[in-house]
Amino acid sequence: GCTQKYIVKNYFYYYLFKFSAALGEEVFYITFLPFTYWNIDHSVSRRMIIVWSIVMYIGQVSKDILKWPRPLSPPVVKLETRTNAEYGMPSTHAMAATAISFSFFIATMNQYKYPFELGLVAAFVFSTLVCLSRLYTGMHTVLDVIGGALISAVLLVLLYPAWDTIDHLLLTSPFCPLFSIVVPLVLCYNYPKLDYYSPTRGDTTTILGATAGATVGFWLNNQYAASAPTGKSVQPGFPVITSTMVFVLARFFVGILVVLLTRWVMKSVVLGLLGYRYKFPIGDLAARRRLEVEVPYKFVTYSSVGFMATVVVPLLHQLLGLM
């Protein structure tokens, strides 16, 4: 229970892998995935989000079914504490990094003009850095990381032939909103039970909730034919590039402000209502970890974030003349 002390001898590796580890956490998901939707291409973003949610759900559930322990400390030095209560196999950081980087590469290689080798190397470097960060921070074994990357790769191969079909159904089926909300909720409430609390159920609910809200947003946008970034190349030139970057940054900062504000407001409101319903103070961490509190609190909060990011933020961009 004591805090483990360590001495950093190589600050380059330390900050490189601490940063790389963050590429597999919420701070990256909540910035990069919406960024692709606001600034790159809606179809690319949709495919990435669906693949990410499926891969992460399978990875999180696999951890709590296999129940393989994380590396013992000592001998390893653990540089993180939040996820230490989770089991180790497979590494969901490795799974997420592999899924996001290679799904982005696959989805864009036929839509954008860039060297195939460059895209492949970029996806490989991104996923490799995240995988190595899990070893450096002492959170996973080599087998955990390899297993996570391989599972993610297999799932990508299996999902790729159905990408267009899934995307079409999510955009056009009248049952999409109901399916997008009911199925994730059922999965969250029937998550594998453990003998002690682990953040895996809460993290899984966060991911499925955000995907549910975003998917409903995708469907709604398609019904009303919302404008989308086309991904068409522009003529080169410094003024054009400068102007484009200003609009990209403006869309991102406006969008991320709305997303963070939505998360804060919904978290406060939902926790307040649940606290009133189940008679506990908002600051009671043990109460917030109960199934009947954690699942609705995180699902409603992050489904609201997903919906705002895909519906309200693009409308705000249009209103502000940022499209």
* Distance in angstroms (rounded) separating the CA atoms of residues 98 and 24: 10
pTM of the model: 0.84
pLDDT band at residue 296, thresholds of 50, 70 and 90? very high
- Give the pLDDT of residue 151: 93
**Which H, E and C letters describe 36-53, residue by residue?**
HHHHCCHHHHHHHHHHHH
The Cα–Cα gap between 144 and 91 comes to 5
What pLDDT digit, counting tens, does each position of 72-110 carry?
A: 777 777 777 766 777 788 988 889 889 998 999 988 887
* Average pLDDT over every residue of 209-236: 73
User: pLDDT at residue 308 above 90?
Assistant: yes
In the predicted model, is pLDDT for residue 65 greater than 60?
yes
pLDDT at 234 over 60: no
Residue numbers annotated as active site? 93, 140
In the 8-state DSSP scheme, what is residue 67?
A: -
Confidence of residue 4 (pLDDT cuts 50, 70, 90): low
Does the pLDDT at position 241 exceed 60?
no
The per-residue b/e assignment along 167-196, b for 16 or more CB within 10 angstroms, e otherwise, is: eeebbeeeebbebbbeebbeebeebeeeee
Mean pLDDT within 248-264: 91
Per the prediction, the chain carries an average pLDDT of 84
The confidence band for 237, taking pLDDT boundaries of 50, 70 and 90, is very low
What confidence tier does 242 reach under pLDDT thresholds 50, 70, 90? Answer: low
Say which amino acid occupies 242. Answer: T
H helices of 109-231, where? Answer: 116-136, 142-159, 163-172, 176-189, 200-223
Q: Write phi, then psi, for 157 (nearest 5 degrees).
A: -65, -40
Q: Does the pLDDT of residue 28 top 70, yes or no?
A: yes
Domain-wise residue ranges, the chain: 1-163, 173-224+241-322
